[in-house]
Chain A
Amino acid sequence: MLEALLTVEFFITAMALTVRIAPTILFASLGEVISEKAGVVNLGVEGVMLITAFTAFYTSFHTGNPAMGLLVALAIGALIGLVHGFLTVYLGLNQVVVGLGLWLFGLGIPDILYRISFKEVPTVKVFEETPIPFLSEIPFIGPVIFKHNILVYLALMLIPAVYLIINHTRPGLNFVVCGENPKAAHAAGINVLRTRMTAVLIGSVLASLSGAYFTTAFLRSYITNITFGRGFIALAMVYFGNWSPVRLLLPLLLYNFVDSVQLILQTADIGVRYYVLNMIPYLTIIALMPIFARGVRPPAALMKPFKQP
């Protein structure tokens, strides 16, 4: 059985699965990059994802349309972002506490709503796989990148988009300055609070994309704790990627790839116990931490509230 695995085909399938799972973390990570670059961290990403995953599911079920589910989820995400931003940016509350509070909130509310709104586990329509006509035929790369649902393509396109925004646009640079040296930013005439607020909003909306992805593209139903820690992994990826949208791809894809592979390996009867295999994705990240974490430099004003005089 093992020999059957060490084929190119298997590798391609694993890579395709990796890319398909990636948006569950990728959107949130990209959002967090923007938010943290501006100086605000959202530890409650997991909570946002839980809430929006349920919202998308609920809406999708009642309207029969995953796109509606996505839109409503985005709206809710924006709302949460507003609240979070207000508390952390304008009121200057401790970001750790607010984030954790948000997470606990997200842990409780969707569960209750789920229990009271559904008697059976329904399945909903999801964004179907839409292969891109020519490109999906390319051997190797085709099935891996070009044979997915549209949200995957969106995520992939967002990577260079975020990179460009942060590094080459005015608003993006404003974010960065507010995160590095808000005093100087203020002196230069930038409205630090408003800029940070915008960054937080974007971060929250993107996080809600990740949450909605669970129930509008990746899975067809909902269960309690559907995100299972992915929000925290998204946070970690930002850290390991040194706050660069491009650099975080490596640990992110690696984690997802190892996760996909270990599942396939479980069926391969290779004599390694399943729980060991299950731990491998986490262990990989931790083992590679010295490599990834080297030279990691967070934005100087991260987590420090700014009092606008």
Chain B
Amino acid sequence: MSRIKSVKAISTTVAAVLAVVALVVGLGIGALALGGLAGPREVTVTRTVVSTVTQTGAGATVTVTQTATVTAPGQTPFSRLKVLLILPIDEKDNSWNRAAFDAVMKLKDLYGFELSIERNLFDGTKAEPYAVDYARKGYNIIIGQGIQYMVMFHKIAPQFPNTMFLCVDCAPSLVGAFEPGAKVAPNVYNIWMTLGEGGFLMGYIAGKMTKSNKIGIVGGGRVPSIWEGHEAFKLGVKTANPNAEVLEAYMPLSWADVAGAKKAAQSMVAAGADVVSASGNGIDVGVTEAALESGVWTSTVYADLPALRPDIQKLMGSIVFRWDIVFDAAIKDYIRGTWKNGFLTATMASGIVTVSLGKNVPDNVKAEVMSLYEKILSGTLKITFDYTCFDNPDKPECKPTAAIAHGL
């Protein structure tokens, strides 16, 4: 094949015919589907009920599976809701996103509301057009799973005063306002979380499990909640094992940096760590992988990894967040009309944060951890932080940790 003859001979008529055909086809499609585009789609809530019946008789066992489709009869205030969940990554991380996803799906099954999920909108600026669009389409509740949506919510909230913007890992004191001097938007519902309590417990286990006295912890962006988790982790290590040293790394700006997290974990292992913990999101994925390959102990946060991945042997455990309890409370507030300026904190005492321990953690360590857990639940053990260390981590008072335990 040596040359394509230049097609000069596209006559005007052919071109005209093509254009007309395209126009007709386009209009045809439009006419056909015009009904489907009128406003937001009406979605019928159907649930598939599967029941398995095993009948034994006359020497034979028959299993009958019946599938029935039930259309939700009648609408409740809950089922009339339209909810959007914005995920920074997606639920495959078995961590932050997974926890939110599971929570929302559980509530959807319970209440039957219309649910949309937008994934991989890691930054507020990326999520902004989506949030606005859904709000315009009449969505009542828009959940932003992450502190990165805080500023964005406050920017667009005034436009949609009746839409609840549920901001997870946000606090009104942090944002001040979208525009300095303006008022905090009342329709942004903030959910704050404490990673400190769980971090302390995981650090304690790490301190007990390490033999090399070097422990690593990898985090994503260095935001206050994560920072608290890390500092408390270091405190836990110190409490369990004063000789152990903690190596710390933050993945700048991206909780989604799986490869980076894995490399960080691997380099910590190379530096002698035999325990590497992760504090969230894609970081968990990378660290878990590295831990599996290098044969070191690990722990994760947000989703129940011991339950999700029973195949992982050297798993210290996970700090589990019951977001469904939180979202449920917020939704109920919304229905009741008491949701403005809402603010919830996810803590252990409120039952939202729990600990799930790995099966191979020695019993004596488990017992010690559980007793510490009891102390936190009862309020005997409190962990506070020296917040000046957030901006000045190199001050001597901030080493080895900025966390302080009361009531040990």
Contacts and interface: CB of A to CB of B under 8 A. Distances in A.
Interface of A: 1, 4-5, 10, 13-14, 17, 90-91, 115, 118-121, 123, 193, 219-221, 223-224, 226, 228, 260, 263-264, 266-269, 271, 274-275, 278, 307-309
Given A17-B266, A220-B293, A274 B285 contact: no
Contact of A226 (B3, B253, B259, B270): B259
A121 B248 contact: no
B111 to A, nearest CB: 23
A90 B2 CA distance: 7
B267 interface: yes
A117 B90 CA distance: 14
Contact of A121 (B92, B119, B262): B92
Contact of B249 (A90, A266, A271): A266
A21 to B, nearest CB: 8
Interface centre among A4, A91, A228, A266 (most CB of B within 10 A): A266
Contact of A264 (B260, B262, B270): B270
Contacts of B2: 193, 307-309
Given A4-B271, A17-B270, A271-B394, A221 B285 contact: yes
A79 B216 CA distance: 44
15 contacts: A13-B270, A17-B267, A220-B292, A220-B293, A223-B282, A260-B263, A260-B267, A263-B260, A263-B264, A264-B270, A266-B249, A266-B264, A267-B271, A269-B248, A271-B394
Contacts of A5: 271
Contacts of A121: 92-94, 285
Nearest to A119: B92
Contacts of B271: 4-5, 10, 264, 267-268
Contacts of B94: 120-121
Interface in B271-326: 271-272, 282, 285, 289, 292-293
B361 interface: no
B250 A90 contact: no
Contacts of A266: 249-250, 264, 267
A228 B259 contact: yes
B252 interface: yes
Given A17-B266, A193-B2, A274-B252, 19 more contacts: A91-B4, A121-B92, A121-B94, A193-B1, A220-B292, A221-B258, A224-B120, A263-B249, A263-B264, A264-B270, A267-B268, A268-B271, A269-B247, A269-B248, A274-B251, A275-B253, A278-B252, A308-B2, A308-B3
Interface string B104-146: 0000000000000001100000000000000000000000000
Interface centre among A17, A228, A274 (most CB of B within 10 A): A274
Contacts of A260: 263, 267
A28 B92 CA distance: 29
A219 B252 contact: no
A5 B214 CA distance: 14
A17 B259 CA distance: 13
Contacts of A267: 216, 247-249, 264, 267-268, 271
A260 B253 CA distance: 19
Interface centre among B2, B216, B272 (most CB of A within 10 A): B2
B259 A221 contact: no
A224 B250 CA distance: 21
B292 to A, nearest CB: 8
Interface of B: 1-4, 90, 92-94, 119-120, 216, 245, 247-253, 256, 258-260, 262-264, 266-268, 270-272, 282, 285, 289, 292-293, 394
Contacts of A1: 245, 247
A226 B286 CA distance: 12
A115 B120 CA distance: 11
Contacts of B258: 219, 221, 223
A226 B3 CA distance: 39
B270 A274 contact: no
Query: What 8 pairs across the A-B complex have the smallest Cβ distances?
Result: A264-B267, A121-B92, A267-B247, A13-B270, A275-B252, A266-B249, A267-B249, A274-B252
Contacts of B249: 263, 266-267, 274
Contacts of A269: 247-248
Nearest to B289: A220
Contacts of A14: 270
Contacts of B264: 263, 266-267
A108 to B, nearest CB: 13
Interface centre among B1, B252, B285 (most CB of A within 10 A): B252
B245 to A, nearest CB: 8
A293 to B, nearest CB: 28
Nearest to B92: A121
Nearest to A228: B259
Contacts of B260: 263
Contact of A274 (B93, B250, B267, B292): B250
Nearest to B253: A275
Contacts of A90: 1
Nearest to A214: B259
Contacts of A4: 271-272
A118 B92 contact: yes
A10 B272 CA distance: 10
A96 B250 CA distance: 37
A22 to B, nearest CB: 14
B270 A120 contact: no
Contact of B289 (A13, A120, A123): A123
Contacts of B245: 1
Contacts of B259: 219, 223, 226, 228
A269 B248 CA distance: 8
A219 B258 CA distance: 10
B266 A307 contact: no
A10 B92 contact: no
Contact of B267 (A115, A226, A263, A271): A263
A19 to B, nearest CB: 14
